C-alpha cells in the first residue's frame, strides 16, 4: 500500500500528462481538483495493489476520458443550473 497526499498532486498531474500523451488536454484542472479535495478533506489517499483487495470486496474503477475542460464548459454549467446539490461533496468515511 502507498499513500498519496497534497504534496504529490503536481507529480501525479505531470505523470498523467506524460502517460496520456496530451490526448486528455492540460492536466492543470485535474490537479486543481485533486488539490482542492485534499485540502477540503484533510486526508491522504491509499493506493493499494490488486492482490491487497479481498476476493469478496466491492470495488469501483474511477476515471475520465477526454479533455477535462469539456466538463467545465459543458457539464458543470448544466449541473449548476439544474441541481446544485450534485456539487455538494458526499460524506466520506474511509473504512479501516
- pLDDT for the residue numbered 5: 92
- pLDDT for the residue numbered 80: 54
User: Residue-wise pLDDT tens for the chain (96 aa)?
Assistant: 789 999 999 998 888 888 876 566 678 878 888 899 889 989 888 888 889 988 998 887 766 666 666 666 666 555 555 444 444 444 545 554
The long-range contacts involving 24-28, CB below 8 angstroms and separated by at least 24 positions, are: 24/64, 24/65, 24/66, 24/67, 24/68, 25/66, 25/67, 25/68, 25/69, 26/67, 26/68, 26/69, 27/68
Give the global pTM.
Answer: 0.56
Amino acid at each position: 500500500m502507498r499513500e498519496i497526499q497534497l504534496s504529490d498532486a503536481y507529480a501525479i498531474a505531470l505523470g498523467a500528462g506524460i502517460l496520456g500523451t496530451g490526448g486528455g488536454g492540460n492536466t492543470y484542472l485535474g490537479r486543481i481538483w485533486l488539490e482542492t479535495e485534499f485540502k477540503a478533506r484533510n486526508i491522504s489517499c491509499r493506493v493499494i495493489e490488486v492482490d491487497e483487495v479481498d476476493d469478496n470486496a466491492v470495488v469501483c474503477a474511477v476515471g475520465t476520458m477526454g479533455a477535462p475542460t469539456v466538463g467545465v464548459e459543458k457539464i458543470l454549467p448544466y449541473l449548476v443550473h439544474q441541481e446544485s446539490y450534485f456539487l455538494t461533496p458526499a460524506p466520506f468515511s474511509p473504512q479501516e
